Amino acid sequence: MSEWLTSLKTETPQEGFELAITLARKGVGYTQPSAEIRKKLRPEYEENADSLTAASQVIAIHYQTVAAANNYWK
């Protein structure tokens, strides 16, 4: 695997949120490396409120980590 995450530091909270989304997406990619299988499974969760809420929770947890790494952009 190539190194892609070199820092949790971001200039703004918006960039931090976008990094949190990237972290969540990369986590899914590492967990299920087959794009074909991910595409096949998508219809099962894309309209499921519980699945979408869980995805939002994962992003929120990553955002907390990024925010802390950036001293909450103080």
51-59 CB contacts, 8 Å cutoff, 24+ apart: 55/24, 58/24, 58/27, 59/17, 59/20, 59/21, 59/24
- In total, the chain counts a number of residues equal to 74
H or E stretch at 70: none
Mean pLDDT of 2-25: 97
Model confidence pLDDT, tens digit, residues 24-67:
999 999 999 999 999 999 999 999 999 999 999 999 999 999 99
Is it the case that residue 1 has pLDDT exceeding 80?
no
DSSP labels for 4-61?
-------SSHHHHHHHHHHHHHHHHHHHS--HHHHHHHHHHHTT-HHHHHHHHHHHHH
